[in-house]
Amino acid sequence: MNTNKKLETLDEKLKEIANLGHASKLMSWDREVYMPESGSKHRAESISELSGLIHQKTLALDENNLLSDLNAARKDGGLSEDEAVIVRETWREYEREAKLSEEFVRNLSQLTSEAQDVWRKARANNDFLQFGPTLEEIVDMQRKKAEYLEFETTPYDPLLDGFEPGMSTEKTEKLFSDLRDFLVPLIDKVSDQSLDITHSITGKEIRKEDQKAFNKEILEKFGYDFQAGRLDASTHPFTLGSQDVRITTRYDKSDLLSSLSFTLHEMGHGLYEQGLPDKNYGTPLAREPSLGIHESQSRLWENHIGRSQPFTKWLTRQMQENLQSVSDELTTDNLYRELNTVEPSLIRTEADEVTYNLHIIIRFELEKALIEEGLAVENLPAAWNKKYEEYLGIEVPNNKQGVLQDIHWSQGSFGYFPTYTFGNLYAAKLDATIREEIDTVDEQLSNGTFDEILSWLQDNIHKEGMRYKTEDLIENVTGEPLKTDAFKQYIEDKYRGLYDI
Ligand code: CO
């Protein structure tokens, strides 16, 4: 077989894997949006079956040395730039997958699928002991996974690498402790100040149907393509799919701003998925280089745009024109203050921009301790509560609002949480770069014009897929590697206008 024939075969094989992944994603979407409760057992089996097949097919990529030969050709410079990216990244993923046995992959998938139900019930009952033994099994399997994947310094490294390729635990620790030292005293200062809000949107009853229509309208104005995506509701908002993008939000009749910020967040993920090059579907050129990059897109739209003063000006008008229950007395200043109120709170997904990263840092420190065996699962709730007191100055009243709030650990996603903060750091640097390159950003936002910003993101980030490693992509686009500076500057500039800091 010559190299071209081999590349064609690889392409076919990658399409097969993508097709199975597509089916699995739709099943997961349906599980969160429509599936009746009793469906969960068979659904867990179906998803596990597919993950086994995907694993088999991934290993079969190197049948008759197909992938090894192509990787050798890549190293010899015998491939085009696009081909080299596809082979480089497929090889990296293959090497990782090949270290895990099919039995292990199936067992982990089955365990975590069931664990999500156990976690849901434990959370509803506010009973950590109900989830503890399952979590212990999951932690054990994560340690095994790390051993199979091999590591030099800490078993946390290969787990983190699964979500943020190229990032090390050591580098994460440096970034996070720098951020923690900046945030903790800042929050301490802000905590006892309150913003003057005379016309609050929160608490006003707005029918769910009206919120839904409003959210859809906003999505259309931003350029979210409803021919290539949907908006639905789920308890925990998420995004799945590429040219068939499923984003979800959640509605609370007295909290329009929460449905809106979930929608803007997931829209950022959705716009990224819609902007990945469809001609490369199934290959690494149509995927994100890391979850942090994916998250940077959601945080950019949700926070840097969605909570900015000029955007708020436009949003105030939209609300007054489209929602009967929003009074004319609502002002931009009021809405801006409401959208940017800083208040240490218990729930990560509802946290403001300033406190959010401390929720992540706490989870990172705890899961690292679990994986490195410094912390026993039974002591996790107490350790959790202690850190909330220390970093955010708040007392955790129960495990439901504490250690049981997130789905991630039940899914076996250890090493995932840090990507949220990486996303925030990338987003801040991208925002600063966009503002350097487009000098009318504020004007555009106050007029509800988003196409130039979206095109910039499509050209610089979306269309590249995995062409560059995350750290190179960020350096190419912004001129420097990942640091905390841009985020800290953004927070200082913005909140100096709101609080006495
Ligand atoms: Co996100």
One domain, residues 352 and 424: yes
Q: Which amino acid is at 340?
A: N
Catalytic residue among 32, 89, 266, 367: 266
**Cα distance between residue 342 and residue 72, in whole Å:** 53
Q: Which contacts qualify for 382-390: CB closer than 8 Å, 24 or more apart?
A: 387/362, 388/346, 388/362
Residue 319 in any domain: the answer is yes
One domain, residues 146 and 174: no
Task: Please answer whether residues 257 and 484 qualify as being in contact, where contact means their C-beta atoms are separated by less than 8 angstroms.
Answer: no
Question: Which of 150, 179, 206 finishes a domain?
Answer: 150
**CB count in 10 Å sphere of residue 73:** 17
**Cα distance between residue 41 and residue 334, in whole Å:** 48
Any bridge partners for residue 248, and if so which? Answer: 232
**Cα distance between residue 316 and residue 99, in whole Å:** 53
Question: Which of 117, 150, 183 finishes a domain?
Answer: 150
Give how far Cα 450 sits from Cα of 314, 447, 454, Å. 12, 9, 6
Q: Is 217 a catalytic residue?
A: no
3 state DSSP class of 479: coil
Residue 162 in any domain: the answer is no
CA of 266 to the centre of ligand 1 (A): 6
Comparing CA positions, the residue from 213, 242, 216, 247 lying closest to residue 230 is 247
Residue 376 in any domain: the answer is yes
Look up tokens 């009793």; give the residue.
Answer: 38
One domain, residues 349 and 304: yes
Domain count, the chain: 2
CA of 185 to the centre of ligand 1 (A): 27
User: Which tokens hold the place of 186?
Assistant: 């800042």
Residue 196 in any domain: the answer is yes
Domain assignment of residue 261, given as a range: 169-496
Q: If residue 335 lies in a helix (H) or strand (E), which one and from where to where? A: helix 332-339
Residue 329 in any domain: the answer is yes
CA of 427 to the centre of ligand 1 (A): 12
Task: Encode the chain (501 residues) as per-residue pLDDT tens digits.
Answer: 899 999 999 999 999 999 999 999 999 999 999 999 899 889 988 988 998 899 899 999 999 999 999 999 999 999 999 999 999 999 999 999 999 998 998 899 889 988 998 999 999 999 999 999 999 999 999 999 999 999 999 999 999 999 999 999 999 999 999 999 999 999 999 988 999 888 888 888 999 999 999 999 999 999 999 999 999 999 889 999 888 999 999 999 999 999 999 999 999 999 999 999 999 999 999 999 999 999 999 999 999 999 999 999 999 999 999 998 887 788 999 999 999 999 999 999 889 999 999 999 999 999 999 999 989 999 999 999 999 999 999 999 999 999 999 999 999 999 999 999 999 999 999 999 999 999 999 999 999 999 999 999 999 999 999 999 999 999 999 999 999 999 999 999 999 999 998
One domain, residues 99 and 13: yes
CA of 60 to the centre of ligand 1 (A): 32
Question: Which of 123, 150, 177 finishes a domain?
Answer: 150
**Cα distance between residue 489 and residue 304, in whole Å:** 13
One domain, residues 209 and 325: yes
One domain, residues 338 and 439: yes
One domain, residues 99 and 221: no
pTM of the entire structure? 0.96
One domain, residues 231 and 272: yes
Residue 501 in any domain: the answer is no
One domain, residues 345 and 474: yes
One domain, residues 211 and 145: no
